[in-house]
């Protein structure tokens, strides 16, 4: 939600800071996603050194501080820099969330668990983008753009406090290493775990941090899936750049009503959420019954649904808006896009969780980096693209 709640208030920011740069208006939203692209390269593999918990707490504090500094920004560079920091630290719930599921849940329950995980308004990687503009649209219209950022800061406080009291360490190697150190201190005997390696201090830091990059280069399946999900992810952000153009300029909505236009996408996300996880788990169990075992590849068949629905929804939205049909028609089209995105996003995440187990955080980081780069850069060309080609 933090990546998009700010979007409806961007025109107010441009007026306050005396700018009419359309590319800058897109960049102020997508700079958060650039931080999302950088953060996983450092924070996700670091969680495989120190554990999930300390990285989560540290990132929550940094996110909270950056949110507050954004709300009091006195110029556009200050706002953009701390939006970048927010994205850098805000990537942790998304990139470590799948790691927590891999740590805690058996294989046959991971699909449903991942679906439940995406429901959370702050933790969900894809459901947040439609809630953000709806809330942000009315806040920007009624209270000004700074209050959209104050809401992020307030939610950051709640999230930080909840994590401090509710979360515990889940990463198996970290827990075993802590136990070994405790037993070594109590008994005086040297204790080692199966995860201990004869590495220099530099290797302990460098190897995990370089792991996501190595996965992208050396694992074709990680690269291919990352590229595909990145294209779909960028479609979602391209849609975001058109909503103001379509529903305010063509249909005469105010900023609050334009935020409600995102509900079509949101309904699609909800339908996808309710169906893809149970379907994926059912299919995986069926394959286990037939073949005697379950492979990570058994998570991928739901992709066939997503690869069909995303282009159908995009054509529906673009052609109906271009023809100025009733406003509900393009919104229905975005619903099909929402369903399709979930049927692409979640099966790929499930596959990476099942395939890379204790290195799930690094695999998800590799995926998130490519996805975020696409999501941050492609929408920058959105307005020029639609000016040249039109919505249809």
Which position has the token pair 């306050």? 16
pLDDT, tens digit, 9 for 90 and up, residues 119-142 = 653 334 444 444 555 555 555 555
Any idea which residue has 């999930």 for tokens? 52
Per-residue pLDDT tens digits for 156-208: 888 889 989 988 888 878 888 888 888 878 787 777 776 666 666 566 667 76
What is the separation of C-alpha 313 from the centre of its chain, rounded to a whole number of angstroms? 21
Q: In Å, how far from its chain's centre is CA 370? A: 12
- Identify the pLDDT of residue 316: 93
Instruction: Report pLDDT digits (tens) over 46-55.
Output: 887 888 889 9
Supply the pLDDT for residue 335.
Answer: 92
What is the pLDDT at residue 202? 64
Q: What value does the mean pLDDT take over residues 346-356?
A: 86
| 2 against 334, higher pLDDT | 334
Q: Say if CB 337 and CB 235 are below 8 A apart.
A: yes
**Rounded distance, CA 378 to CA 355, Å?**
29
End-to-end CA distance of the chain: 28
109 has a pLDDT exceeding 50:
yes
Closest among 69, 89, 64 to 146, alpha carbons compared? 69
Please state, rounded to an integer, the average pLDDT across all residues of the chain. 79
The DSSP H or E segment spanning 116 is helix 110-117
- Say if CB 277 and CB 116 are below 8 A apart: yes
Compute the average pLDDT of residues 316-332: 89
pTM over 0.85: no
Structural domains present in the chain: 7-389 (1.20.1250.20)
| The residue to which tokens 């198996």 are assigned | 172
**Per-residue pLDDT for 309 more than 90?**
yes
Instruction: Count CB neighbours of 51 within 10 A.
Output: 19
Higher local confidence (pLDDT), 196 or 364? 364
pLDDT value, residue 13: 75
Q: How far apart are CA 34 and CA 3, in angstroms?
A: 10
What's the burial of 204, exposed, middle or buried (CB within 10 Å: 0-12/13-18/19+)? exposed
């Amino acid at each position: 939600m933090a990546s998009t709640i700010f979007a409806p208030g961007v025109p107010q920011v441009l007026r306050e800071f005396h700018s009419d740069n359309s590319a800058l208006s897109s960049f102020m939203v997508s700079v958060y996603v650039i931080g999302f692209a950088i953060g996983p390269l450092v924070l996700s593999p670091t969680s495989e050194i120190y554990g999930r918990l300390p990285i989560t707490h540290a990132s929550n504090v940094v996110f909270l501080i950056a949110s507050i500094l954004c709300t009091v920004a006195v110029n556009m560079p200050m706002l953009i820099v701390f939006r970048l920091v927010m994205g850098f630290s805000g990537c942790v719930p998304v990139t470590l969330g799948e790691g927590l599921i891999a740590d805690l849940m058996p294989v046959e329950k991971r699909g449903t668990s991942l679906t439940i995980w995406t429901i959370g308004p702050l933790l969900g990687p894809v459901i947040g983008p439609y809630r953000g503009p709806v809330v942000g649209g009315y806040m920007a219209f009624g209270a000004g753009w700074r209050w959209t950022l104050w809401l992020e800061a307030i939610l950051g406080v709640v999230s930080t406090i909840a994590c401090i009291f509710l979360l515990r360490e889940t990463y198996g190697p970290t827990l075993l290493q802590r136990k070994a150190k405790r037993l070594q201190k109590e008994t005086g005997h040297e204790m080692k775990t199966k995860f201990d390696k004869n590495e220099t201090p530099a290797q302990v830091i460098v190897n995990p941090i370089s792991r996501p990059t190595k996965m992208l280069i050396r694992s074709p399946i990680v690269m291919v899936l990352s590229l595909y999900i990145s294209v779909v992810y960028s479609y979602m952000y391209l849609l975001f750049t058109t909503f103001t153009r379509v529903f305010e300029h063509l249909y005469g909505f105010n900023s609050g009503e334009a935020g409600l236009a995102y509900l079509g996408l949101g309904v699609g996300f909800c339908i996808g959420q309710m169906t893809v996880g149970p379907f994926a788990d059912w299919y995986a169990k069926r394959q286990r019954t037939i073949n005697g075992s379950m492979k990570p590849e058994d998570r991928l068949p739901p992709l066939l649904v997503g690869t069909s629905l995303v282009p159908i929804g995009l054509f529906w939205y673009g052609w109906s808006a271009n023809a100025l049909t009733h406003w509900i028609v393009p919104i229905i089209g975005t619903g099909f896009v929402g369903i399709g995105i979930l049927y692409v996003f979640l099966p790929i995440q499930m596959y990476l969780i099942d395939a890379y187990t204790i290195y799930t955080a690094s695999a998800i980081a590799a995926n998130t980096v490519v996805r975020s780069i696409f999501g941050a850069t492609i929408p920058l060309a959105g307005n020029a693209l639609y000016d040249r080609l039109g919505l249809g």
